[in-house]
Chains A and B, each alone.
Chain A
Amino acid sequence: MIKKTMLALGVFTVLFPLMAYAEDPSTATLDMGLNSLWVMLAFILVLLMQGGFILLEAGSTRMKNAGHVAGKTIFTTGLAALIYWAFGYGMAFGGDSSFNAMFGWGDFFFNPSITAVQGDSYPSTVFFLFQLAFAAVSLSIAWGGFAERAKLSSYIIFTLFFVAIIYPTVAHWIWGGGWLAEDGAQDFAGSTVVHLTGALAAFAATVLLKPRIGKFNKDGSANEILGHNQVFTALSVLLLWVGWFGFNAGSTVAIGDGFFGFVAFNTMLGAGAGGVAALLISWAVTGKADITAMLNGTLAGLVAITASCAFVDPWAAVVIGLAAGVLVFYSVKFFEKIKVDDPIYALSVHGAAGVWGTIANGIFATQALADKVGVGTGGLIDTGSWKQLWVQFESVFVVGAFVLVASFLVLGVMKMIMGFRVTEEQEIIGLDLSEHGAYGYPEHMKKADSSIQG
C-alpha cells in the first residue's frame, strides 16, 4: 500500500512538476482577479438591460412600430460603443486636465493596457465596458421620448451628441472627479447621472416632437394608446430588475468585504416597495389595480434606490421605494395633464423617480454609510444637518439644467436642419414600414395596411 502511494506521488511529480514549485499568487493578484470578474459580470448584467429596454419599449407601443423599436435599440447600443470608445470615455474619465472640474480630456480612442496595471484593483478594460453599459442605458432611456414618431436618422445624430458629450459631462461631474464630486454629491449608481439625464433628454425630445397622432383630443383630454403586449412589458421589468443588481451592486466595483451584498439587498427592497405602492395607489385612486402603473412603480422603486442603495439603512430603502411608487403614479397623470406625450413613461419612471432618489440621499443617508462609501455626509434624519440635502438639490438642479439645455439645443438644431419627425402618413403606416421597409409582425399587419388605403 505504501509502495503504491509513493509510486503514485512520484508519477504525479513527474507529470506536474510545476505544482511542486509554483508560487502562490499574491493576495493583491487574487483580489484584482475577483474584482475584475465582478465588474465584468456586472457589465454583462447591465448590457442585458438593453433586452429589458427592447421589450419595455416594444411592449408599450403599437405593433406597427415593434420591429423598429427593437432593432434601433441594438443598433444604437453598437453605435454608442464606438462613440464612447472614441470620445465619451475620454470626456468622462480621461486624464487630468486644467479644466478637470468641468470635463475630462484624454484617453480618446481609448487604448487600454492588456492587463491590469500593477496596483490597480481591476483592469481598465472592464471599467470601460461597465461605464459604456451605463451610457447605453441612459441613451435607451432617452429613446422613450422619441418613440413611435422620430426619424431613424435622428437617432443616429442624437446618439453621437449624447454619448460623446452630454452623458460623459454629467458622469464626469459626479463620478469622474468633477466639481459636483468635489462638493460630495451622492449618487451611488446613477439616479441622476444615468436616469435623470436620460429622462430629461427624453423630455426635450417628446416636447420638440409633439404628441403622437391621436394621443390628445381637441378639447385637451387624453386618449389611452395601449401598448401591444403587456407580457413583453412585464418581462422587460423582470429583465431590468435582474440587470439592476449589476447596475447597483456592481457599482461597488469591488468584492472587498462583501459590501456589494448590502447594496443588492437595499435594491431589492426598493424595487418591491415601488411596485406594491404603485399598485395600491392606482387601485385606491382609480378603482382599478392597474398593471402598467404597478410595472412603472417597480421600475421607479429601482430608479430611486439607485442613488441611495449604498447610503441608507434597509428601512429607508423601503420608504424610498414606497414613495417612488406613489410619485410615479401621480407623475404620469401630471405629464398627461400638461399634454406631454410620454409613451414609455420615461419622464415619470426615470425622471421623477430619479430626482426623488437623489434628493432622498439628503434625507436618509447615514453618516456611517457615507463614511464607508467615502462620499458626502449623512442626511437630515441621521445628522440633523441640511448640508447633504442641499448638495443633492444642487446636483439635481445643475445636472437637470445642463441636460435640458444641451438636449434642446442638439435636438432643436437637428429639427431645424434635417427634421425630427416622420410625416403623418409614415406615422400612421408605422415606422417598421416607413423606416425599414418591413413589418415586425408581417402577418398581423397586412389588414391594417389595406385599411389605410381605404
Chain B
Amino acid sequence: MNDPMQLQLLKGIGSADCMDELRSLRDQVHDQMETLLYKCPIEPYNEQLNEVHDAVIQRSIILAEAEMARAGKGSPPVPYAYILFGSGGRREQTLSSDQDSGVVYEDPVSDLEIIQQYFKELSNIIVCHLQEAGYPPCEGNVLSSNPEWCMSQSAWAAKLNGWFEEPTWEAVRYLLIMADSRCVYGEAWLVDELKDLFFIDMLNHSVIVRRMLENTLRHKVLIGIFGQLLKEPYGQDAGSLDIKYGAYIPMVNSIRLLSIQHGIRETSTLARMKRLMEAGKLSEVDGTLYEGAFRLFVRLRLMSTEIRVNGLYSSSGKLSSSKLTKEITDELKSSLRLGKKLQRAVFKQTMGRLT
C-alpha cells in the first residue's frame, strides 16, 4: 500500500458517517492488505495496518458519542480515555484481531451514578459498533462494556492496588493485561497516570514478578528436543503450527516481563526490545536476533488461517501445513530456538534478581 493511498483511506475512515460506511472501508482495506502481505516488509506493513485499525476504532467512538448526543444523553460529562489491551495495546493487531478494551474517566465531583451510566451506555454502543465493523468481542470479557473494565480513576487505582495486594492467578493475569494498555482515543494522561501507579506498585511488590513469571512462561515454544516443529496432531488443523501461542505469545510475554521489571512503558514488542537494548538489559547481538525472530512470527501470524463467522474477522492463529514450505520451516526452526533461548534467559534473569 503506497502512502497516498493510505492517507486517502485514513481520510475516508476519519470522515465516515455511519458504521456501514466504516465496515465497507475496512473490508476494502482487508482485500488490499491481504495481497500486500507477501510484497511488503513486515514492520511498515504492521504499522500501516495498525494505523487503519486505530482510525476505525477512533471513528467508531466518535460515531458512538454522536449517537449518545442524538439520544439526548449529552456529551461526555468528564474527560475519559478509551484503552486498548492485548494486541491492540501493543500495536500488533492482525487483519482479524478481537476487541480487548477498557475505559478510564476522571473522578467525578458529583453525580457519580449518572456519569457511570453514561460511560456504560457509551461503551455498549462502541463495542456494538466495533462488532459491526467485524471485530469479535474478547472471549475473556475484557471489554469496556464490562463494568469491571470501565471505571473512574480512583476505582481503577483501588482495583490495581487490590491486584497487587492479592496476586491470585487471575489478578496476575489482569496485571499483565494492564501492562499492554494504550490510550487509543481521548485523554492520554488518564492512562499515563494509571501507568505511573502500576510501576510504583511494581517497585513496592517486587516479589510479584515471580508470579508473573509463572504466567509468562506458561505457553511453551513449539519446538521439540530434536529441533522438530511440534505441530497439531489431530483435528481440522492437523499438521499446522500454532504460531500464535507457540511462537508469537511466548516471545511477547517474555519481552513484556523484562520490560515491566525495568520500568519500560512502551507497549509494542519491537519498541520494548529497542529500549531493553538501550538500557543494556539485552545485548545488541541477542536483541537483534530476537527482533528478527519476532518479525518472522508477526509475519507468519498474519498468514495464519482465517475464519469468518457471522461477518466477524477471526483467526485460528495456526499456520496451515500448506504454508509451511521448506524455507519457512527452516527459518521458523531457528527463530523458535531463539524464542526458547529468550524464555530461558528471562527465567534466569528474573529468578536471579529475586535471590
Contact = CB atoms under 8 A, between A and B. Distances in A.
Interface of A: 217, 219, 221-224, 284-287
Interface string B94-131: 00000000000000000000000000000000000000
A284 B225 contact: yes
Contact of B236 (A221, A286, A287): A221
B239 interface: yes
Given A287-B222, A287-B224, A224 B233 contact: yes
A224 B230 contact: no
Contacts of B226: 284-285
A287 to B, nearest CB: 4
A287 B227 CA distance: 11
Contact of A217 (B228, B230, B236): B236
A172 to B, nearest CB: 42
Contacts of B239: 221
Contacts of A287: 220, 222, 224, 230
B233 A286 contact: yes
A221 B224 contact: no
Contacts of B235: 217, 221, 223-224
27 contacts: A217-B235, A217-B236, A219-B236, A221-B234, A221-B235, A221-B237, A221-B238, A221-B239, A222-B233, A222-B234, A222-B238, A223-B234, A223-B235, A224-B234, A224-B235, A284-B224, A284-B225, A284-B226, A285-B224, A285-B226, A285-B228, A286-B224, A286-B230, A286-B233, A287-B220, A287-B222, A287-B224
Nearest to A220: B238
Nearest to B224: A287
Contacts of A223: 234-235
A222 B234 CA distance: 5
Nearest to A287: B230
Nearest to A333: B233
Bin chain B's interface residue count. Answer: 10 to 19
Nearest to A218: B236
Contacts of B228: 285
A219 B232 CA distance: 15
Nearest to A215: B234
A285 B237 CA distance: 18
B132 to A, nearest CB: 31
A334 to B, nearest CB: 13
| Binding site secondary structure of chain B | loop
Interface of B: 220, 222, 224-226, 228, 230, 233-239
A150 B89 CA distance: 55
Contacts of B233: 222, 224, 286
Nearest to A221: B238
A3 B225 CA distance: 85
Nearest to A216: B238
A224 B236 CA distance: 10
A285 B220 CA distance: 14
Given A221-B236, A284-B226, A287-B224, 20 more contacts: A217-B235, A217-B236, A217-B238, A219-B236, A221-B234, A221-B235, A221-B238, A221-B239, A222-B233, A222-B234, A223-B234, A223-B235, A224-B235, A284-B224, A284-B225, A285-B224, A285-B228, A286-B230, A286-B233, A287-B222
B224 to A, nearest CB: 6
B321 to A, nearest CB: 9
Task: Determine which residue in B220, B224, B233, B235 has the highest number of CB atoms from chain A within 10 A of its CB, and name it.
Answer: B233
Contacts of B225: 284
Contacts of A219: 236
Nearest 4 A-B pairs (CB), nearest first? A221-B238, A224-B234, A287-B230, A284-B225
B235 to A, nearest CB: 5
A95 B239 CA distance: 56
A328 to B, nearest CB: 16
A99 to B, nearest CB: 50
Nearest to B239: A221
Contacts of A221: 234-239
Of A219, A222, A287, most buried by chain B (CB within 10 Å of CB) is A287
B243 to A, nearest CB: 15
A384 B233 CA distance: 42
Contacts of B234: 221-224
Contacts of A284: 224-226
Contacts of B237: 221
A214 B233 CA distance: 15
Nearest to B225: A284
A224 B225 CA distance: 24
A222 B222 CA distance: 20
Contacts of B222: 287
B319 to A, nearest CB: 15
B123 to A, nearest CB: 36
A223 B234 CA distance: 5
A198 B224 CA distance: 35
Contacts of A285: 224, 226, 228
A85 to B, nearest CB: 45
A343 to B, nearest CB: 14
Contacts of B220: 287
A224 B220 CA distance: 22
Contacts of B224: 284-287
Contacts of B230: 286-287
A156 B225 CA distance: 48
A284 B239 CA distance: 17
A224 B232 CA distance: 11
A224 B235 CA distance: 7
A285 B238 CA distance: 15
A221 B240 CA distance: 11
Nearest to B238: A221
Contacts of A217: 235-236, 238
A249 to B, nearest CB: 38
B328 to A, nearest CB: 20
A321 B332 CA distance: 36
A350 to B, nearest CB: 23
Nearest to A225: B234
B171 to A, nearest CB: 29
A4 to B, nearest CB: 80
A222 B236 CA distance: 8
Nearest to A285: B224
Nearest to B223: A287
B136 to A, nearest CB: 24
A101 to B, nearest CB: 47
Contacts of A224: 233-235
A224 B233 CA distance: 8
A223 B233 CA distance: 8
A223 B239 CA distance: 12
B333 to A, nearest CB: 14
Nearest to B221: A287
B231 to A, nearest CB: 9
A335 to B, nearest CB: 14
Between A221, A223, A286, the greatest number of chain B beta carbons within 10 A of the residue's beta carbon is seen for: A221
